[in-house]
Structures are given as C-alpha cells and as structure tokens.
Amino acid sequence: MTPTTPEAPVPPRPAYTPGSAQPRLNRPVRERYPQIRPTSGYGDPRIRHTGPGPGAGTEQEPERSSKLSARLALALTVVIGQLWGLTIVVDEWMAGDTGTAWWGAGFLVLSFLVVLGLWLIDPKDR
C-alpha cells in the first residue's frame, strides 16, 4: 500500500446513514480508524516475535516474595484466630458469662494489634 500524499485525491465521504447523533461516527470503520489495516496484527511482516519479552513471568525478587508470603500466611492465621475468638466471645456473651466474653474481646483487640504491627513492619512493601 502506498503512503497517501497531499496531492492524492481524497475519496468522497459516504452518504449519512442514521444511527448516531454525530455524523462522523457513522462513517465506515476504515475511515474512522485509518491506522487499522488488513496487515495489522498477525499478518504484519514487521512482527517477528509475539508474546512478552525475555524474563517475563519469572520472579525478579524471590527474597521479597518469600517475605510477603510469610507475612500473608501469618496474617491469615491471625484472622482465622480472630474469627474463632469472635465465635467464642459471642457464645459466652449469649450464655451470660460476661467475664469470659471481656477476656475474649481483649484477645480480639490484641489480635488486631498484631495484624496492624505486621502491616507497619515494612512500609515500602505497600
């Protein structure tokens, strides 16, 4: 396909067809998007390699990844413990044993502070 020069005649626009309030949107796709050509994509001879570049999909910082995985596992363990503790606290409260319920509430607050401490350990990982 030869590049268009300023001297080349411009083909006339097709007649307006209803479908949009803006007539410019009713033009054929090849006129609205001139950069899309039949050779775009898989048929383009300039494309020799497809897919991501070298090193894509490999772990770039394994130490950081293992540290984050360990912190995530610890945080999930604490959250599961909080759910279990909340179940015990609600059962004790409903049974009328408010003393045990308050100790359980203290456990839940302490668990929350542990998770907050894990979050505050390394602010650059957020």
More confident residue, 34 or 74: 74
Sign of the dihedral defined by the CA atoms of residues 92, 89, 110, 71, in that order: positive
121 pLDDT band, cuts 50/70/90, is confident
- Looking at residue 115, its pLDDT comes to 80
| CA dist., res. 32 & res. 126, Å (int) | 43
Q: Pick the residue with more confidence: 30 or 71?
A: 71
CA–CA dist 67, 75 (Å, integer): 12
- pTM as predicted: 0.46
In this structure, the dihedral spanned by the alpha carbons of residues 54, 56, 46 and 42, taken in order and rounded to 10 degrees, is 140
Q: Which residue has the tokens 């009713």?
A: 26
Kindly indicate the confidence band of residue 5, based on its pLDDT and cuts at 50, 70 and 90. Answer: low
The residue that leads in pLDDT, 4 or 94, is: 94
23 within 8 A of 16, measured Cβ to Cβ: yes
